[in-house]
Structure 1
Amino acid sequence: MQPLQRYKQDLAHVLWLGGTPCSGKTSIARRLVDLYPLQLYHYDRRERVHLALSRAERHPFMRADGDMTMDQRWVLRSVDVMVQATTAAWEERFEMVVDDLLALPRTPPVLAEGPGLLPGCVAPLLTGAGQAIWLVPTEAFKRATQPLRGGAPAIETSDPELAYRNLIALDLQLAADVKGRAEELGLTVLEVDGSRSVDAMAAIVADHFGPLLRGAGRGGAAR
């Protein structure tokens, strides 16, 4: 049996909630674990651990990203290079995500949430399309909500305005890439424009997961 086929069965209890920043993933995930007994896996919270586990020969983009100054990260690179490097680092890191998920108990089900859960990485592990969904913000919603989140302007760089423009452009291109790849693979992606509340979006995501989520029952989170 090939490794991915084995992982497909070993991770059949995992629900995948991917997407890019400013799409409400984390808020929706928290709402779902309030409603259903789920283990919540936060991709972002494992970043330092994964960086410490990385090796230059196996994870060159992860290591390069971790070694950059703020100017190197946000000012001195083109947006195209940022997109390529970010995507490559997430792809390198995904094997560590799989290891994390394999180490968790199989019950209750796991809700994995985070930006680095790329459609192309997740797709080979799915038993069906209903096991995963991606959220991406519209450009207008991204530009409206990013100032509320902070970002590159709050980081000490030699050119905060350029850093901020690059941050916005990076996230918008990543969102377009995620949307395009998910659609190519026949997977579900939702555009978030701010017209629905967190509760409403959580209901849509829960409906997508359908029996996979309802089978977990109701009545509080398992973290």
Structure 2
Amino acid sequence: MDMDERWVNRPPEVMLETFHWFRGEGFGLIVEDLIRMPREPCVIVEGFRLLPHLVKPLLAAPEHAVWLLPAPDFRQAAMRSRSVSGEGFVSKTSDPTRADRNMAERDRMFTTCLEEETERLQLRTIQVDTTMTEDDLAEQVTTAFRL
């Protein structure tokens, strides 16, 4: 696909359903890397390939995982910061505004899926918004893992 086919002409629903990383592609490679690591010190693994239904069966206890879920204001701020430079991949489309809007909607739907899945699987989440500092978030993660 060219840039317009990928980001401008496809509806966000199709973008979500066909984005391979949101389907768990690469998850096995992450697990393989983690298996090779020493058990100490603890490791925090982050990324949108770590889907709750894939991670939960590997947990010794549910409290060994937490998902960071961006609040709408945080997602919007992240999108704005990506498009400020004008050098991002959406600037290579014929309609960067529409591409940004499509990607923002796809990301919103993905976050909703994560919220629903973590709730269904009884896994913990932390809502991240623009009022949080990095230290606030680090403290919440540290508390969640009892570090």
Find the residue that maps to 1:135 and give its secondary structure: strand
Compared with structure 1, are the counterparts of its residues 106 and 117 closer, same or farther at alpha carbon in structure 2 (3 Å cutoff)? Answer: same
Aligned to 2:116: 180
**Structure 1 equivalent of residue 135 of structure 2:** 199
What are the within-5 Å matches in structure 2 for residues 1-223 of structure 1?
A: 68-86=1-19, 90-150=23-83, 154-155=88-89, 156-210=92-146, 214=147
1:3-28 per-position Cα deviation (integer Å, ceiling 9, x unaligned): xxxxxxxxxxxxxxxxxxxxxxxxxx
Match of 1:218 in 2: none
Cα 1:196/1:128, change in 2 over 3 Å: same
Quote the RMSD (CA, aligned, Å): 1.9
Give the CA deviation at 1:69: 2.9
CA positional deviation for 1:88: 6.2
**Aligned equivalents of 1:108, 1:88: Cα separation in 2:** 28
Offset of 1:125 from its aligned partner?
A: 0.6
Q: Structure 1, unaligned stretches of length 5 or more?
A: 1-67, 215-223
TM-score normalised by length of structure 2: 0.87
Q: For residue 109 of structure 2, what is the amino acid of its counterpart?
A: Q
Tell me the secondary structure at the aligned position of residue 189 of structure 1.
Answer: strand
Q: How high is the TM-score relative to the length of structure 1?
A: 0.59
TM superposition shift of 1:171: 0.8
Whether the 8 Å CA contact 2:73–2:130 is kept in 1: the answer is no
What secondary structure is seen at the aligned counterpart in 2 of 1:80?
helix
Q: Equivalents in 2 of 1:118, 1:87: separation in Å?
A: 12
Equivalences, count: 143
Deviation at 1:109, TM superposition (A): 1.9
Change (3 A) 1:199 1:114: same
Per the TM alignment, residue 79 of structure 1 is displaced from its structure 2 partner at its CA by: 0.8
Counterpart AA for 1:116: R
Q: Structure 1, residues 145-174: CA drift from partner, whole Å, max 9, x if none?
A: 3211339x6320122111110111011111
